[in-house]
Amino acid sequence: MHRDKDRYLSIILISPSILAVLIFVYGFIAWSVRVSLSQWKGLNPDYTWAGLTNYINLFSDPRFLVDVRNTLIFTGVFVIGCILLGFILAVMLDQGLRGEGFFRSLFLFPMAISYIVTGVVWRWLMNPAEGDRLSGFNLLFSYLHLDFLINKWHTTETWGIAAIALAAIWQMSGYTMAIYLAGLRSIPDELREAARIDGASEFQIYRHIILPLLSPVTLSALIILGHMSLKVFDLIIAVAGKQLPLDVPAIYMWQTTFDGLFYGRGAAIGILLLVSVAILIIPYIRYTLRTEAQQ
Amino acid sequence: MSKSKLYSLMTVLMIAMLVLSACGGGAKKVEVFSWWTGGGEAAGLEAMIKVFNEKNPNIEFINAAVAGGAGTNARAVLATRLQAGDPPDSWQGHAGQELIGTYVAGNQIQPLNDLYESEGWLSVMPKTLIPLISQGGNIYSVPVNIHRANVLWYNPAVLSANGVDVPTTMDEWFAAMDTLQAAGVTPLALGEQWTKMHLMETVLLGTLGPDKYNGLWDGSTDWGSAEVTTALENFQKALTYTNSDSASLSWQDASQLVVNGDAAFNVMGDWAEGYFRELGKSPMADYGWAPVPGSVGVFQFLSDSFVLAVGAPDEDGAMAWLKVAGSKEGQEAFNPVKGSICARTDCDKNLFGEYLQSAMDDWSSNTVVGSLTHGVVANDSWKSEIDTALGLFIQNNDLATFQSALVAACASSGPCK
């Protein structure tokens, strides 16, 4: 009896947020799907059925193909960079050095900054000007007589987006470090000691004991970083504005919808973004729920 | 996600504001929506509001300006309000197809022919202007200011040091830039993608001439024709004279290269002149100007203008505002502060600086054509398709693909069939 009362109360208490999520998240997803299947172009809604035309056109749209290529390059560089750098930083901090707390905050700090700020600063640092107008990193390289390092950064052909990923790595590798550090701390010292007694070198310990035990951490990092990079928008806008060589699906969606009034096409890009993030996230959520249930 | 949240929040706040102001009793009021929130634009708007308040002491003026570069944010907010059936009485928009293609097609703004006739504006504005801000014989907005797009800015010292005269034709221009390039000077300063579209439209105009150029936008000039190919080849050639870091420069950065002596030429609208003055540079000494080669005697314009909403909550208030916006007094209050010229040809020249005076002379005597980048000649959808084609062209430098994409853009979003 008492139990039932609790249950009703909890349902009543939770219902406003469930309702809000249903309307404002799932309702609008459904509406976007509907728009993406329509011919809507212009300011006034037009729900004339267009089937999958918007989607099919996107896959032969040279701009969207540039976007896909850019997203793949960005994701690859960003995720691998963050994981490598985050892991190395975590291992270094895990050696029990003095002032660990200070360094931990130092590396984590960039995460507290908004992408817009990071973007503006890196825009100055990655200034590609030549000759007398050298500045930022390129000027530094020139002072250090490392002229061969001077490059065009984000204005490099095809690979320019990788320069943007550098700024994102700077911002997010501290966060990756924190996840890895937590993972490292949860590995019992006994395991390392046992391995040492068996005559394993430090490298072998990392290779055969630490890394396998950290694989769930790596998976989490991969998924968190991966879905962030699929949705990247503000960082690119802050570094380069709306320019096609650094275009990604999110920017195309914004421009084509609000500047070009192609609502149908914009919704289709949005749905494709949602699907690509879902492909990454849903298996992970299921896996987490299942392991939690087992525990 | 957070952006869209911000917009819904702003919309809610605005609606709340409207509801609150609606509680204030039966007093007349007019809500005017714009993206003039900073610098000379905001100061100019304030000056014009002052004129409005003097003339209409019984109408309350509500300044519903939304910040954000070139109105991108404001236009998204406006779109949300219009879709929710909550229009402001009047709003700002680039005169021409940007307004007509979007809002006339959506039946959201009213024709203003009667106002033009009763206020006598048809006789004080250039004859070639009126068709560019009309559709089917209806005039849809009141231009407040005029900017010129086809201006070639140059550094007089750099030109004379290299023995180069100010060019008036495309061939002269290319010859001059060859000389400058050989001397190790950057011939043409260029910035981010939209400034490339700006350069492209002026080169199209300079190569095709005003009639053929106008034909591009009404469907009478074929985008696939050989003359358009020639114009695009000229554009492609012009790009070879530019600085290598253009993608990372704003228009200000690019214009500044000229006044600093790092580059010889820059094609930019005449708002650059206001920027040069801010930098403390003086006309004819630090910078000179001429029409873009091939477009002498042609004034490629863009203009901020105001419209009358269909279903305006207070139509009388909106009309009173539009009368001020089109009046000599209102335009003389706004333009010297904003650094533009009046849409009217009868403003007092003494209020303006040296460059603007020369622009006023040209405005009243030249053939007027419209700008693509700044919303006069093409609707938003068409312009955004051209922008995408241009962006791809800058990446791959494939002229044939570029031209066929332009043909396709005109067919899908323009008047071409």
A192-206 tens-digit pLDDT: 999 999 999 989 999
Confidence of residue A278 (pLDDT cuts 50, 70, 90): very high
Indicate whether B217 and B289 sit together in one domain.
yes
Q: Does residue B36 sit in the same domain as residue B25?
A: yes
Do B92 and B219 sit in the same domain of this protein?
Answer: no
CA distance A89 to chain B (A): 31
Same domain for B308 and B235? no
pLDDT at B114 (0 to 100): 96
Residues B30 and B49 in one domain: yes
Sign, CA torsion B15/B19/B24/B28: positive
In chain A, what residues touch B404 (CB-CB under 8 Å)?
A: none
Residue B18: φ, ψ to 5°: -65, -45
Domain check: are B263 and B354 in the same one? Answer: no
What is the pTM (predicted TM-score) of this model? 0.88
Average pLDDT over residues B362-379: 95
- What per-residue confidence (pLDDT) applies to A247? 95
List all residues 6 or more positions away from B266 whose beta carbon is below 8 Å from its beta carbon: B152, B153, B154, B188, B189, B190, B254, B255, B257, B258, B272
Question: Does the ipTM exceed 0.90?
Answer: no
B195 and B292 belong to one structural domain: yes
CB-side neighbour CA atoms (13 Å) of B237: 16
How many beta carbons lie within 10 A of that of residue B191, not counting itself? Answer: 27
B4 falls in which pLDDT band (50, 70, 90)? low
Name the minimum distance, in Å, from the CA of B25 to any CA of chain A.
33
**Is pLDDT at B1 greater than 50 in this prediction?**
no
Six-digit token pair at A260? 């070009």
Q: Which residues of B touch A241 (CB under 8 A)?
A: 192-193
Q: What is the CATH number of the domain that holds B18?
A: 3.40.190.10
pLDDT tens per residue, range A76-92:
999 999 999 999 999 99
The predicted structure's pLDDT at residue B414: 93
Q: Render A34-46 in DSSP notation, one character per residue.
A: HHHTB---SSS--
Q: Are B339 and B286 within one domain?
A: no
Residue of chain A minimizing CA distance to B405: A62
According to the model, what pLDDT value does residue A156 have?
87
The mean pLDDT of chain B is 91
Whether B185 and B80 share a structural domain:
no
Q: Which DSSP state fits A22? A: I
Compute and round to an integer the Cα radius of gyration of chain B: 22
* Residue B221: domain span: 148-300+374-413
Are B9 and B114 found together in one domain?
yes
Looking at the structure, tell me whether residues B270 and B311 fall in a common domain: no
pLDDT grade for B24, boundaries at 50, 70 and 90: very low
Q: B76 touching A, CB under 8 A?
A: yes
Coil vs helix vs strand at A201: coil
- Contact criterion met (CB < 8 Å) for B384 and A262: yes
Rounded to 10 degrees, what is the CA torsion of B190, B368, B36, B108? -120
Chain A partners within 8 Å of B381 (Cβ): 41-42, 260-262
**Number of folded domains that form chain B:** 2
Q: Which two tokens stand for residue A161?
A: 């987006």
Say whether B244 and A261 touch across the interface (CB within 8 A).
no
B250 and B396 share one domain: yes
Average pLDDT over residues B314-341: 95
Residues of B in contact with A260 (CB under 8 A): 380-381, 383-385
Domains of chain A in start order, with CATH, are 37-294 (1.10.3720.10)
Query: Taking CB atoms and an 8 Å limit, are B384 and A63 in contact across chains?
Result: no
Query: What is the DSSP-derived secondary structure letter of residue A198?
Result: T
Most confidently modeled range among A264-268, B64-68, B246-250 = A264-268
Q: A with B: how many residue pairs have Cβ under 8 Å apart?
A: 96
Q: From the CA of A141, how many Å to the nearest CA of chain B?
A: 18
Question: Does B355 score more than 90 pLDDT?
Answer: yes
Q: What percent of chain A has pLDDT over 70?
A: 99
Looking at residue B61, its pLDDT comes to 94
Residues of B in contact with A244 (CB under 8 A): 193, 388, 390-392, 394-395
Reported as a single tens digit per residue, the pLDDT across A247-273 is 999 999 999 998 899 999 999 999 999
